[in-house]
Amino acid sequence: MTAPLRVGETTTVPVALGARAYDIAIGRGLLAELGKRIAALKPGASAAIVTDETVAARHLEAAAASLAKAGIRAIPLIVPPGETTKSWRILEEVCDRLLEARIERNDVVIALGGGVVGDLAGFAAAIVRRGLDVVQVPTTLLAQVDSSVGGKTAINSRHGKNLVGAFHQPIHVIADTALLDTLPPREFRAGYAELAKFGLLGDAGFFAWLEANRQDVFAGGSASGSLAREHAIAVACRGKAGIVARDERETGERALLNLGHTFGHAFEAAAGFSDKLLHGEAVALGIVCAFEFSTRLGLVAGNDAGRVAQHLAAAGLPTRLSEVPALRTDPDTLMSLIAQDKKVQRGKLTFILVRGIGQAFVARDVDAAQVRAFLSEKLN
């Protein structure tokens, strides 16, 4: 945990990756500084703004104005909203449009949007002309605390989520917390699951702080709410930046960031990567499953699983599979999807399990029969 922010303060969180190091800027009103920041990083560069239709209607004009003020040529590339946009078809379209716009290797791609846009634009930047610089401007809570940081970019396959992609670090992340004021409540709740995840995987004190301050984090618009929200985002970004700096390519510690995701990605795939189940909602379900499965294995003493489920439910997130009609499926379908998870090694299942709140660990060679039995019970 760190000291809370002060009113009007912009926090800079460094991601220490040597030659690929960059800063995360966190604060209200930072979109207006987009042009100035890019001009300082990339003098003379042009910019392609990849965004979706929903975000474009709210924030594209302000982003373009900031770039124009800094003398930066900007080309908007607008894609449809939603998880299905992370596809081969849309990736090809974005790549073609970057080439048509004559975006060169010394130019920059701006990912203005949530996790879908960040993943798609980041992957396109990784492969067009063998690599373009990308600036992440996350517009959702989920993207500000998780997907915009760390360089993971990907699209989905019919075989599962995020199975085709590349590590491609941004050169800067601008987390304007004022953009969250226009976020639909369901989207904010979904992002909160990723925020809570940081406390649950390695910072029990932060999770306890969230239990005491969740309502202020959700309020946002008030002075106390704004400070609580920015403080929570800064804590999560510092936590992730530290892990990424120590394990950029997820060969060890970084896997802990996938708490709830092995279950969650299978749930998303079963729901057809649709708005029937948002990514953050799937992560919330996956986190509860990870705690309950760990408890079943005798790894967790006490009622930490119940405490976690109670907190996420109070935040308006699903905590039982029966709450999601799209998950009326069978355990074998879910097990088939889990077998496609990126953490599977030589056919052996790997899960992020816990010994308690703030005590996640990587569990390799998890017994598939035990997982199937657990899911069978949860589906009934």
CATH 3.40.50.1970 fits 11-185, yes or no: yes
Q: Quick check: is 172 catalytic?
A: no
Token pair, residue 14, equals 């460094």
CATH of domain 259-380: 1.20.1090.10
Indicate the SS3 state at residue 86: coil
Catalytic site includes residue 93: no
The answer to whether 168 is a known catalytic residue is no
pLDDT greater than 80 at residue 2 = no
Query: In the Cβ-directed half-sphere of 115, how many Cα atoms lie within 13 Å?
Result: 24
| Catalytic-residue membership of 250 | yes
**33 tagged catalytic:** no
| pLDDT tens digits along 119-155 | 999 999 999 999 999 999 999 999 999 999 999 999 9
Is 130 known to be catalytic?
yes
What is the location of CATH 3.40.50.1970 in the chain? 11-185
Selected catalytic residue, list 214, 240, 311, 378: 240
pLDDT digits (tens, 9 = 90+) for 282-337: 999 999 999 999 999 999 988 999 999 999 999 999 999 999 999 999 999 999 99
Is the pLDDT at 5 greater than 50, yes or no? no
The catalytic residue among 172, 265, 311, 342 is 265
Instruction: Select from 339, 360, 347, 225 the least CA-distant residue to 291.
Output: 360
- What DSSP line would sit under 87-114, residue for residue? SHHHHHHHHHHHHHTT--TTSEEEEEES
154 within 8 A of 120, measured Cβ to Cβ: no
pLDDT beyond 80 at 345: no
pTM of model > 0.85: yes
pLDDT at 1: 46
Q: Could you count the other beta carbons within 10 Å of the beta carbon of residue 351?
A: 27
Q: Where in the chain is the domain with CATH 1.20.1090.10?
A: 259-380
Active site residue 59: no
Active site residue 279: yes
- Is 348 one of the annotated active-site residues of the chain? no
